[in-house]
A = this chain, B = another copy of it.
Amino acid sequence: MARSTHVRRPATLASLAAELGVSRTTVSNAYNRPDQLSPELRRRVLETARRLGYPGPDPVARSLRTRKAGAVGLLLTENLSYAFRDPAALGFLEGLALACEGAGQGLHLVPVNPEREDVASVHRAGVDGFVVYSVPDDDPHLAAVLSRPVPTVVADQPRVDGVDRVGIDDRGAITALAGRLIALGHRRVGVICMRLARDRNDGFVTVERADSAHFHVQRARLAGLADAFGGVGVDWSRVPVVERFDHSVASGASAAAQLLDADPHVTALVCTSDILALGALAEARRRGLRVPQDLTVTGFDGIADAERVGLTTVRQPVLEKGRAAGKLLLASPDPTRPREITLDTEFVPGATAAPPRTAEERWFGP
Protein backbone atom coordinates (compact mmCIF):
# COMPACT_ATOMS: atom_id res chain seq x y z
CA MET A 1 0.00 0.00 0.00
CA ALA A 2 2.67 2.42 0.99
CA ARG A 3 4.43 1.53 -2.25
CA SER A 4 1.48 2.39 -4.44
CA THR A 5 1.42 5.96 -3.24
CA HIS A 6 4.80 6.39 -4.81
CA VAL A 7 3.52 5.20 -8.12
CA ARG A 8 0.36 7.17 -8.46
CA ARG A 9 0.20 10.92 -8.38
CA PRO A 10 1.14 12.06 -4.91
CA ALA A 11 -1.54 13.37 -2.62
CA THR A 12 -2.03 17.09 -2.20
CA LEU A 13 -3.89 19.23 0.22
CA ALA A 14 -6.75 19.39 -2.25
CA SER A 15 -6.99 15.67 -2.84
CA LEU A 16 -6.91 15.10 0.86
CA ALA A 17 -9.69 17.62 1.35
CA ALA A 18 -11.74 15.94 -1.36
CA GLU A 19 -11.24 12.54 0.21
CA LEU A 20 -12.39 13.88 3.56
CA GLY A 21 -15.19 15.99 2.19
CA VAL A 22 -13.90 19.15 3.81
CA SER A 23 -12.42 22.31 2.40
CA ARG A 24 -8.77 22.80 1.64
CA THR A 25 -8.70 25.53 4.22
CA THR A 26 -9.61 23.08 6.89
CA VAL A 27 -6.85 20.69 5.93
CA SER A 28 -4.42 23.56 5.88
CA ASN A 29 -5.59 24.57 9.31
CA ALA A 30 -5.11 21.05 10.57
CA TYR A 31 -1.41 21.56 9.97
CA ASN A 32 -0.94 25.24 10.65
CA ARG A 33 -3.65 26.34 13.08
CA PRO A 34 -4.81 23.44 15.18
CA ASP A 35 -7.01 25.79 17.19
CA GLN A 36 -9.11 26.51 14.14
CA LEU A 37 -10.79 23.15 13.99
CA SER A 38 -12.09 20.53 16.35
CA PRO A 39 -9.55 18.05 17.71
CA GLU A 40 -11.66 15.23 16.37
CA LEU A 41 -11.64 16.52 12.80
CA ARG A 42 -7.97 17.30 13.02
CA ARG A 43 -7.28 13.75 14.10
CA ARG A 44 -9.23 12.47 11.12
CA VAL A 45 -7.37 14.76 8.75
CA LEU A 46 -3.98 13.68 10.02
CA GLU A 47 -4.93 10.05 9.96
CA THR A 48 -6.23 10.21 6.44
CA ALA A 49 -3.07 12.03 5.46
CA ARG A 50 -1.04 9.16 6.79
CA ARG A 51 -3.22 6.65 4.98
CA LEU A 52 -2.87 8.50 1.70
CA GLY A 53 0.82 9.11 2.15
CA TYR A 54 0.39 12.87 2.19
CA PRO A 55 3.61 14.29 3.58
CA GLY A 56 2.15 17.60 4.71
CA PRO A 57 1.93 20.91 2.94
CA ASP A 58 4.44 21.40 0.19
CA PRO A 59 7.13 23.80 1.38
CA VAL A 60 7.56 25.53 -1.94
CA ALA A 61 3.89 26.20 -2.46
CA ARG A 62 3.70 27.45 1.07
CA SER A 63 6.64 29.74 0.49
CA LEU A 64 5.03 31.16 -2.59
CA ARG A 65 1.85 31.91 -0.76
CA THR A 66 3.32 33.21 2.47
CA ARG A 67 6.20 34.99 0.79
CA LYS A 68 8.61 33.46 3.23
CA ALA A 69 11.24 30.96 2.26
CA GLY A 70 12.53 30.36 5.76
CA ALA A 71 16.11 30.53 4.65
CA VAL A 72 18.98 32.94 4.36
CA GLY A 73 21.27 32.89 1.37
CA LEU A 74 25.01 33.02 1.86
CA LEU A 75 27.25 34.20 -0.89
CA LEU A 76 30.84 33.25 -0.33
CA THR A 77 33.84 33.82 -2.44
CA GLU A 78 34.13 31.84 -5.61
CA ASN A 79 36.21 29.08 -4.11
CA LEU A 80 34.20 27.11 -1.61
CA SER A 81 37.10 25.08 -0.33
CA TYR A 82 38.83 28.28 0.55
CA ALA A 83 36.08 29.13 2.97
CA PHE A 84 36.17 25.72 4.54
CA ARG A 85 39.89 25.88 5.16
CA ASP A 86 40.18 29.42 6.37
CA PRO A 87 39.53 29.57 10.11
CA ALA A 88 38.31 33.13 9.92
CA ALA A 89 35.76 32.34 7.23
CA LEU A 90 34.78 29.24 9.10
CA GLY A 91 34.22 31.18 12.26
CA PHE A 92 32.02 33.58 10.40
CA LEU A 93 30.09 30.72 8.89
CA GLU A 94 29.60 29.14 12.27
CA GLY A 95 28.37 32.35 13.81
CA LEU A 96 25.98 32.91 10.97
CA ALA A 97 24.73 29.35 11.15
CA LEU A 98 24.13 29.76 14.87
CA ALA A 99 22.13 32.92 14.33
CA CYS A 100 20.04 31.23 11.66
CA GLU A 101 19.51 28.18 13.78
CA GLY A 102 18.42 30.32 16.67
CA ALA A 103 15.83 31.96 14.47
CA GLY A 104 14.74 28.69 12.88
CA GLN A 105 15.97 29.82 9.51
CA GLY A 106 17.82 27.64 7.07
CA LEU A 107 21.16 28.66 5.67
CA HIS A 108 21.36 28.33 1.92
CA LEU A 109 24.88 28.21 0.51
CA VAL A 110 24.67 29.68 -2.94
CA PRO A 111 26.69 27.68 -5.43
CA VAL A 112 29.18 29.78 -7.32
CA ASN A 113 30.61 28.13 -10.33
CA PRO A 114 34.24 29.19 -10.42
CA GLU A 115 34.44 28.52 -14.14
CA ARG A 116 31.68 30.55 -15.65
CA GLU A 117 30.33 33.83 -14.46
CA ASP A 118 27.06 32.16 -13.83
CA VAL A 119 24.87 34.44 -11.87
CA ALA A 120 21.77 32.32 -12.33
CA SER A 121 22.30 30.51 -9.05
CA VAL A 122 21.74 33.77 -7.23
CA HIS A 123 18.45 34.26 -9.03
CA ARG A 124 17.42 30.71 -8.40
CA ALA A 125 17.89 30.77 -4.65
CA GLY A 126 14.63 30.82 -2.76
CA VAL A 127 15.67 32.85 0.24
CA ASP A 128 14.39 35.71 2.35
CA GLY A 129 17.65 37.58 2.34
CA PHE A 130 21.33 37.38 1.62
CA VAL A 131 24.56 37.61 3.49
CA VAL A 132 27.54 38.40 1.32
CA TYR A 133 30.90 37.61 2.79
CA SER A 134 34.17 38.88 1.50
CA VAL A 135 33.74 38.73 -2.24
CA PRO A 136 35.57 41.00 -4.66
CA ASP A 137 34.01 44.41 -5.09
CA ASP A 138 33.33 43.75 -8.75
CA ASP A 139 31.92 40.27 -8.29
CA PRO A 140 28.92 39.88 -10.58
CA HIS A 141 27.26 37.67 -7.99
CA LEU A 142 27.27 40.53 -5.55
CA ALA A 143 25.59 42.68 -8.16
CA ALA A 144 23.04 39.96 -8.72
CA VAL A 145 22.29 39.77 -5.03
CA LEU A 146 21.81 43.50 -4.82
CA SER A 147 19.36 43.34 -7.70
CA ARG A 148 17.14 40.98 -5.77
CA PRO A 149 14.38 42.62 -3.79
CA VAL A 150 15.37 41.10 -0.45
CA PRO A 151 17.27 42.47 2.50
CA THR A 152 20.99 41.99 2.36
CA VAL A 153 23.89 42.24 4.76
CA VAL A 154 27.46 42.52 3.62
CA ALA A 155 30.33 41.45 5.81
CA ASP A 156 33.99 42.25 5.33
CA GLN A 157 32.98 44.24 2.33
CA PRO A 158 32.85 47.90 1.46
CA ARG A 159 29.75 49.84 2.30
CA VAL A 160 26.90 49.53 -0.18
CA ASP A 161 24.14 52.09 -0.33
CA GLY A 162 21.07 51.01 1.53
CA VAL A 163 22.57 47.74 2.71
CA ASP A 164 23.42 46.74 6.25
CA ARG A 165 27.03 46.00 6.94
CA VAL A 166 29.15 44.28 9.56
CA GLY A 167 32.88 44.30 9.83
CA ILE A 168 35.85 45.48 11.79
CA ASP A 169 38.16 48.43 11.45
CA ASP A 170 40.74 46.58 9.42
CA ARG A 171 42.63 49.69 8.60
CA GLY A 172 42.80 51.03 12.11
CA ALA A 173 43.60 47.68 13.66
CA ILE A 174 46.59 47.01 11.48
CA THR A 175 47.74 50.60 11.83
CA ALA A 176 47.85 50.02 15.57
CA LEU A 177 49.80 46.81 15.12
CA ALA A 178 52.22 48.57 12.82
CA GLY A 179 52.54 51.25 15.45
CA ARG A 180 53.93 48.65 17.83
CA LEU A 181 56.49 47.55 15.32
CA ILE A 182 57.46 51.15 14.69
CA ALA A 183 57.81 51.70 18.41
CA LEU A 184 60.10 48.68 18.55
CA GLY A 185 62.24 50.35 15.93
CA HIS A 186 61.26 48.57 12.73
CA ARG A 187 61.57 50.71 9.63
CA ARG A 188 62.53 48.22 7.00
CA VAL A 189 59.65 45.81 6.69
CA GLY A 190 58.13 43.49 4.18
CA VAL A 191 54.46 42.72 3.71
CA ILE A 192 52.77 39.47 2.74
CA CYS A 193 49.16 39.66 1.70
CA MET A 194 46.37 37.54 0.32
CA ARG A 195 45.10 37.91 -3.19
CA LEU A 196 44.03 41.39 -4.12
CA ALA A 197 41.96 40.78 -7.20
CA ARG A 198 40.32 38.09 -9.20
CA ASP A 199 43.32 37.59 -11.41
CA ARG A 200 46.25 35.61 -10.15
CA ASN A 201 49.40 37.48 -9.22
CA ASP A 202 51.85 35.49 -7.15
CA GLY A 203 54.56 38.02 -6.62
CA PHE A 204 55.31 41.62 -5.84
CA VAL A 205 52.57 44.19 -5.73
CA THR A 206 52.68 47.66 -7.18
CA VAL A 207 51.24 50.57 -5.28
CA GLU A 208 48.53 50.88 -7.89
CA ARG A 209 47.51 47.29 -7.49
CA ALA A 210 47.38 47.64 -3.73
CA ASP A 211 45.29 50.77 -3.94
CA SER A 212 42.84 49.31 -6.39
CA ALA A 213 42.57 45.88 -4.78
CA HIS A 214 39.18 44.29 -5.32
CA PHE A 215 39.08 42.72 -1.89
CA HIS A 216 38.05 45.28 0.64
CA VAL A 217 39.72 43.66 3.60
CA GLN A 218 43.11 43.34 1.98
CA ARG A 219 42.92 46.81 0.55
CA ALA A 220 42.08 48.26 3.95
CA ARG A 221 44.87 46.42 5.69
CA LEU A 222 47.46 47.52 3.18
CA ALA A 223 46.18 51.05 3.46
CA GLY A 224 46.53 50.83 7.22
CA LEU A 225 50.14 49.80 6.86
CA ALA A 226 50.75 52.63 4.44
CA ASP A 227 49.25 54.99 7.01
CA ALA A 228 51.49 53.79 9.78
CA PHE A 229 54.79 53.48 8.00
CA GLY A 230 54.18 56.47 5.80
CA GLY A 231 53.51 58.38 8.99
CA VAL A 232 57.07 57.86 10.23
CA GLY A 233 58.71 58.74 6.98
CA VAL A 234 59.02 55.31 5.42
CA ASP A 235 58.59 55.46 1.64
CA TRP A 236 55.63 53.13 1.23
CA SER A 237 56.25 52.69 -2.45
CA ARG A 238 59.56 51.04 -1.62
CA VAL A 239 58.16 48.61 0.92
CA PRO A 240 58.09 45.17 -0.68
CA VAL A 241 54.64 43.65 -0.74
CA VAL A 242 54.24 40.06 -1.88
CA GLU A 243 50.86 38.70 -2.89
CA ARG A 244 49.68 35.12 -2.93
CA PHE A 245 46.59 33.81 -4.67
CA ASP A 246 46.16 30.72 -2.54
CA HIS A 247 45.55 31.30 1.10
CA SER A 248 47.62 28.61 2.77
CA VAL A 249 50.55 28.14 5.08
CA ALA A 250 52.61 26.97 2.12
CA SER A 251 51.80 30.19 0.30
CA GLY A 252 52.92 32.21 3.28
CA ALA A 253 56.19 30.32 3.34
CA SER A 254 56.91 30.79 -0.33
CA ALA A 255 55.99 34.45 -0.13
CA ALA A 256 58.35 34.91 2.78
CA ALA A 257 61.07 33.17 0.81
CA GLN A 258 60.52 35.39 -2.18
CA LEU A 259 60.53 38.48 -0.03
CA LEU A 260 63.61 37.58 2.00
CA ASP A 261 65.47 36.63 -1.16
CA ALA A 262 64.70 39.99 -2.69
CA ASP A 263 65.43 41.99 0.43
CA PRO A 264 67.40 40.14 3.11
CA HIS A 265 67.57 43.25 5.24
CA VAL A 266 63.93 43.47 6.25
CA THR A 267 63.58 43.24 9.99
CA ALA A 268 59.91 42.37 10.09
CA LEU A 269 57.39 40.50 8.00
CA VAL A 270 53.90 41.87 8.37
CA CYS A 271 51.32 39.40 7.11
CA THR A 272 47.69 40.22 6.49
CA SER A 273 46.52 36.89 7.87
CA ASP A 274 47.64 34.42 10.49
CA ILE A 275 47.70 31.60 7.98
CA LEU A 276 50.26 33.46 5.90
CA ALA A 277 52.19 34.39 9.04
CA LEU A 278 52.41 30.75 10.06
CA GLY A 279 54.00 30.08 6.69
CA ALA A 280 56.40 32.93 7.18
CA LEU A 281 57.38 31.49 10.54
CA ALA A 282 58.07 28.15 8.90
CA GLU A 283 60.23 29.75 6.27
CA ALA A 284 62.16 31.69 8.89
CA ARG A 285 62.80 28.48 10.76
CA ARG A 286 63.92 26.80 7.59
CA ARG A 287 66.46 29.56 7.06
CA GLY A 288 67.74 29.37 10.57
CA LEU A 289 66.38 32.78 11.43
CA ARG A 290 65.31 33.03 15.02
CA VAL A 291 61.97 34.68 15.67
CA PRO A 292 61.77 37.28 17.07
CA GLN A 293 65.49 37.88 17.62
CA ASP A 294 66.45 37.80 13.95
CA LEU A 295 63.10 38.47 12.40
CA THR A 296 59.77 39.79 13.58
CA VAL A 297 56.65 38.17 12.14
CA THR A 298 53.06 39.33 12.65
CA GLY A 299 49.69 38.09 11.51
CA PHE A 300 46.06 39.06 11.55
CA ASP A 301 42.88 37.28 12.69
CA GLY A 302 43.77 35.56 15.92
CA ILE A 303 43.14 31.97 14.92
CA ALA A 304 43.76 29.08 17.30
CA ASP A 305 46.98 27.95 15.70
CA ALA A 306 48.36 31.45 15.96
CA GLU A 307 47.68 31.51 19.64
CA ARG A 308 49.33 28.13 19.98
CA VAL A 309 52.62 29.38 18.58
CA GLY A 310 52.42 32.76 20.28
CA LEU A 311 52.07 34.80 17.13
CA THR A 312 51.94 38.56 17.45
CA THR A 313 48.68 39.42 15.79
CA VAL A 314 45.31 41.12 15.93
CA ARG A 315 42.39 39.12 17.16
CA GLN A 316 39.03 39.73 15.59
CA PRO A 317 35.75 38.20 16.76
CA VAL A 318 34.95 36.13 13.70
CA LEU A 319 32.16 34.11 15.23
CA GLU A 320 30.56 37.21 16.59
CA LYS A 321 30.81 38.78 13.18
CA GLY A 322 28.84 35.96 11.62
CA ARG A 323 26.31 36.06 14.37
CA ALA A 324 25.93 39.81 14.01
CA ALA A 325 25.39 39.47 10.28
CA GLY A 326 22.66 36.94 10.90
CA LYS A 327 20.97 39.02 13.55
CA LEU A 328 21.08 42.09 11.38
CA LEU A 329 19.47 40.25 8.52
CA LEU A 330 16.84 38.53 10.59
CA ALA A 331 15.88 41.55 12.63
CA SER A 332 13.22 43.56 10.89
CA PRO A 333 15.23 45.54 8.39
CA ASP A 334 14.92 49.27 8.29
CA PRO A 335 15.40 50.37 4.69
CA THR A 336 15.48 54.02 5.59
CA ARG A 337 18.65 53.84 7.60
CA PRO A 338 20.98 50.95 6.88
CA ARG A 339 22.73 49.84 9.99
CA GLU A 340 26.40 49.24 10.37
CA ILE A 341 28.13 47.19 13.01
CA THR A 342 31.84 47.51 13.58
CA LEU A 343 33.20 44.98 16.01
CA ASP A 344 36.16 45.54 18.23
CA THR A 345 39.54 43.99 17.64
CA GLU A 346 42.29 43.31 20.09
CA PHE A 347 46.03 43.46 19.71
CA VAL A 348 47.72 40.22 20.76
CA PRO A 349 51.32 40.92 21.79
CA GLY A 350 52.41 37.35 21.33
CA ALA A 351 56.08 36.51 21.17
CA THR A 352 57.06 36.92 17.56
CA ALA A 353 57.83 40.62 17.65
CA ALA A 354 60.92 42.23 19.12
CA PRO A 355 63.20 45.15 18.34
CA PRO A 356 65.18 44.69 15.16
CA ARG A 357 68.78 43.65 15.45
CA THR A 358 71.22 46.37 14.64
CA ALA A 359 73.52 45.91 11.73
CA GLU A 360 76.36 45.03 14.08
CA GLU A 361 74.29 42.47 15.85
CA ARG A 362 73.42 40.96 12.57
CA TRP A 363 77.01 40.21 11.81
CA PHE A 364 78.59 39.76 15.18
CA GLY A 365 75.76 38.51 17.33
CA PRO A 366 74.08 40.31 20.20
Hey, which bits of chain A sit against chain B, CB under 8 A?
A: 6, 10, 53, 55-64, 69-71, 73, 80-81, 84-85, 90, 93-94, 97-98, 100-101, 103-113, 118, 120-121, 123-126, 147-149, 335
Task: List 5 A-B residue pairs with CB atoms under 8 Å apart, sorted by A's residue number.
Answer: A60-B64, A61-B64, A63-B126, A101-B111, A106-B121
Q: What distance in Å separates the Cβ of A14 from its nearest Cβ neighbour in chain B?
A: 14
Contact A80 to B108, CB < 8 A, known contacts A56-B123, A123-B57: no
- Asked if A55 and B148 make an inter-chain contact with CB atoms under 8 angstroms apart, the answer reads yes
Q: Which residues of B sit under 8 angstroms from A80, Cβ to Cβ?
A: 94, 97-98, 101
Contact A60 to B126, CB < 8 A, known contacts A98-B80, A113-B104: yes
Closest B-chain residue to A147, C-beta based? B55
Q: What distance in Å separates the Cβ of A88 from its nearest Cβ neighbour in chain B?
A: 13
Closest B-chain residue to A57, C-beta based? B123
The complex places the Cα of A61 from the Cα of B64 at a distance, in Å, of 6
The complex places the Cα of A58 from the Cα of B149 at a distance, in Å, of 10
- Asked if A335 and B6 make an inter-chain contact with CB atoms under 8 angstroms apart, the answer reads yes
The complex places the Cα of A106 from the Cα of B118 at a distance, in Å, of 13
Interface core residue of A56, A57, A121, A126 (most chain B CB under 10 Å): A126
- Asked if B106 and A111 make an inter-chain contact with CB atoms under 8 angstroms apart, the answer reads yes
- Asked if B81 and A98 make an inter-chain contact with CB atoms under 8 angstroms apart, the answer reads yes
Q: Which residues of B sit under 8 angstroms from A109, Cβ to Cβ?
A: 97, 100, 106-109
